[in-house]
Amino acid sequence: MPYNLLKGKKGIIFGALDENSIAWKTAERIHEEGGEFVLTNAPIAMRMGQINQLAEKTGSQIIPADATNLEDLQNLVEKSMEILGGKLDFVLHSIGMSVNVRKGRAYTDQKYDFTTKGWDVSAVSFHKVMQTLYQAEAMNDWGSIVALTYMAAQRTFPDYNDMADNKAYLESIARSFGYFFGKDKKVRVNTISQSPTPTTAGQGVKGFGGFISYADKMSPLGNATALDCANYTVSLFSDLTRKVTMQNLFHDGGFSNTGVSNEVIEKFSEE
């Protein structure tokens, strides 16, 4: 049910690949809440996904950009302000990739060229996006920037591999840049630590099905879906959360604060 929470607000959404992706669901919800945006993704991801359908559905334009390339980002920010007719109110960073995971390399046997590439795409790109926005003075006062993360930044999930390190770095960037963006421009920066979600990216992790099932049994409220995450992101882009910044916000049905659940105990008691 729409509340017009984002009426008149404008922004950029990174990372909508297909209808399973959190960025896709968030774009749909922002559109329903009256927000306007430009969609962007890396050219290769755009060829793989169905972003044109989303653009059509939400009346949005697409600007291809490699989020690790500063020229691409400068062009994206400049063009977005032209298209949307002014400064931006929100930005969603929903990008992550591990070449080591894709190529089946173990955490103890990384190819460091792959590590560097994944780190650049998954974490440093967030700094590059924010630095570009900051230097272009592209954000309105009380704007909001959100990146998506996962609890492997705090706890070890063996098969999450080097993405865990990338997410830890991403969260640190949010805090560090969040200070300067808040102090100098009144812009808030937060990360959402989401439940494991069956997106195209998520399903690349080994044993992902068991992972989702375990998290669901551990969480008092069950796993948060991509749509739940979209709704939470909308609240962070709205004026209702103006003083929330530099936070890593767990959106996981209570998983992050649960030591063990009755369901998990029962499962192991059966043996």
Q: Return binding residues for NAD(+).
A: 15, 21-22, 95, 167
Binding residue ranges: 15, 21-22, 95, 167
Is 160 among the residues known to form the active site?
yes
Q: Is 60 helix (H, G, I), strand (E, B) or coil?
A: coil
Q: Which of 107, 150, 169, 232 is catalytic?
A: 150
- The distance of Cα 55 from the centroid of its chain, to the nearest Å, equals 19
Q: Is 268 helix (H, G, I), strand (E, B) or coil?
A: helix
Count of alpha carbons within 13 Å of 67, Cβ hemisphere only? Answer: 31
Is 150 among the residues known to form the active site?
yes
| Residues 60, 262 contacting (CB under 8 angstroms) | no
Handedness of CA 259, 262, 264, 269 (dihedral sign): positive
User: Residue 196: how many CB atoms within 10 A of its CB?
Assistant: 25
d(CA 149, CA 152): 9
| Residues 191, 248 contacting (CB under 8 angstroms) | yes
d(CA 127, CA 131): 6
Report which secondary-structure segment, H or E, holds 128. Answer: helix 125-135
Angle at 63 between CA 246 and CA 85, to 5 degrees: 75
Q: Which of 107, 160, 169, 214 is catalytic?
A: 160
Active site residues: 150, 160
